[in-house]
Amino acid sequence: MTATVMLFDPTAPRGGLPQSGAPPVPLAGLAGTVVGFVDNAKPNFNHLVDDLADLLTRCHGVARVIKRRKSSASIPAEPQVIAALAGECDIVITGSGD
């Protein structure tokens, strides 16, 4: 008996966001940087982000942490949110919680 397995690619399509044209610059370290988090709206991610923000500021000298929450885990963050984070942050981390 032969079974069929369907695989779905969860990767969101690229496009629609303005490109700076400049390649990303590697960070020498985290001290003095602004770190952004995109909360995907799943349960418990906010607790993880709070703990990570505390760790990054206390132990690694991060100057500021910015958190933005998506309205739903099943849709991409709004382009305005991505643009704002890109303009304010040295690094942005997205994640998942459950």
- Cα 82 off chain centre by: 9
pTM for this structure?
Answer: 0.73
| pLDDT greater at residue 82 or residue 97 | 82
- Tell how strand 64-69 and strand 34-39 pair up: parallel
Q: What is the pLDDT of residue 12?
A: 61
Domain positions in the chain are 41-74+85-98
Provide the 8-state DSSP code for 43. Answer: T
Q: Is the pLDDT of residue 28 over 60?
A: yes
Q: Give the three-state DSSP class for 59.
A: helix
Q: What is the pLDDT of residue 44?
A: 84
